């Protein structure tokens, strides 16, 4: 009887070790869970939405305008935020009466960032020029969002990854939730 118990426990231990050897690298280097907290991305994301963050893609490609990303807050890297990319490295973002105009080498006179998906707009104003490693991010609920308008550009090194899958609530399950294609 002891041999069966020892065999059972050694098999369980082996199973647990193999599982950890597979799951932990995926969890720490490929995908990370994230639970949305706060109103800054409403109505795109609500408090309690459960996301899986793709941590791998940005090692091979640069973040794109319109993508929803999770990042470490520049003023307190222990906190994680979720926002939408509006401005890319080297661009100038001009906010006038809530509209975002992007100036870059392709569009020296600027183009207006498509924000047709927004339910909330505001009347904020400002101009922000980004360095070669900075992004300009904003929440979809502009009046309730602490974002690049208040604390400045987001350094690329703070980006954890992009929202890859929404798992909760069940009615909103989907891949690349909240991403909106832009024409620019």
- Strands (DSSP E) contained in the chain are 31-35, 50-54, 68-72, 80-87, 92-96, 99-103, 111-112, 126-129, 134-138, 154-155, 159-168, 174-175
CA 70-100-61 angle, 5° bins? 40
The segment with the largest mean pLDDT, out of 4-8, 71-75, 124-128, 176-180, is: 71-75
Provide the pLDDT for residue 170: 77
| Three-state DSSP state, 10 | helix
Q: Is residue 181 a part of any domain in this protein?
A: no
More confident residue, 48 or 35: 48
Q: For 49-77, what is the mean pLDDT?
A: 90
Structural domain count of the chain: 1
Q: Pick the range with the lowest mean pLDDT from 27-36, 77-86, 114-123, 163-172.
A: 27-36
How many whole angstroms separate alpha carbon 142 and alpha carbon 146? 8
| Three-state DSSP state, 24 | helix
Q: Is residue 182 a part of any domain in this protein?
A: no
More confident residue, 184 or 167: 167
Provide the pLDDT for residue 74: 93
How many whole angstroms separate alpha carbon 12 and alpha carbon 15? 5
Q: Is residue 25 a part of any domain in this protein?
A: yes
Is the CA virtual torsion 142, 146, 148, 152 positive or negative? Answer: positive
How many whole angstroms separate alpha carbon 18 and alpha carbon 25? 12
Q: Which residues are catalytic?
A: 40, 83
What is the average pLDDT value for the chain, to the nearest integer? 83
Q: Is residue 47 a part of any domain in this protein?
A: yes
Q: Is residue 116 a part of any domain in this protein?
A: yes
Q: What is the pLDDT of residues 150-183, one digit of tens each?
A: 999 999 999 999 988 888 887 877 777 787 655 4
Q: Is residue 11 a part of any domain in this protein?
A: yes
How many whole angstroms separate alpha carbon 46 and alpha carbon 52? 15
Q: Is residue 163 a part of any domain in this protein?
A: yes
Closest CA to 82 of 112, 128, 131, 47: 47
Q: Is residue 180 a part of any domain in this protein?
A: no
Residue 130: give its domain's CATH number: 2.10.109.10
Residues spanned by the domain of 154:
2-175
Q: For 32-51, what is the mean pLDDT?
A: 84
Closest CA to 162 of 57, 18, 49: 57
């Amino acid at each position: 009887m002891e041999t069966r118990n020892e065999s059972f426990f050694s098999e369980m231990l082996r199973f647990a070790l193999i599982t950890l050897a597979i799951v932990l690298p995926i969890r720490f280097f490929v995908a990370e869970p994230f639970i949305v907290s706060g109103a800054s991305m409403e109505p795109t994301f609500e408090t309690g939405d459960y996301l899986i963050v793709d941590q791998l893609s940005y090692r091979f490609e640069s973040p794109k305008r319109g993508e929803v990303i999770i990042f470490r807050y520049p003023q307190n890297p222990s906190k994680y935020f979720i926002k939408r990319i509006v401005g890319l490295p080297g661009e100038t973002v001009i906010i006038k009466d809530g509209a975002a105009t992007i100036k870059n080498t392709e569009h020296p006179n600027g183009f207006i960032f498509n924000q047709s998906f927004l339910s909330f707009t505001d009347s904020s104003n400002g101009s922000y020029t980004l360095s070669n490693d900075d992004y300009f991010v904003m929440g979809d609920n502009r009046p309730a969002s602490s974002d690049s308008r208040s604390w400045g550009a987001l350094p690329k090194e703070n980006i954890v990854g992009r929202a890859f899958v929404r798992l909760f609530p069940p009615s909103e399950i989907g891949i690349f939730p909240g991403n909106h294609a832009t024409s620019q």
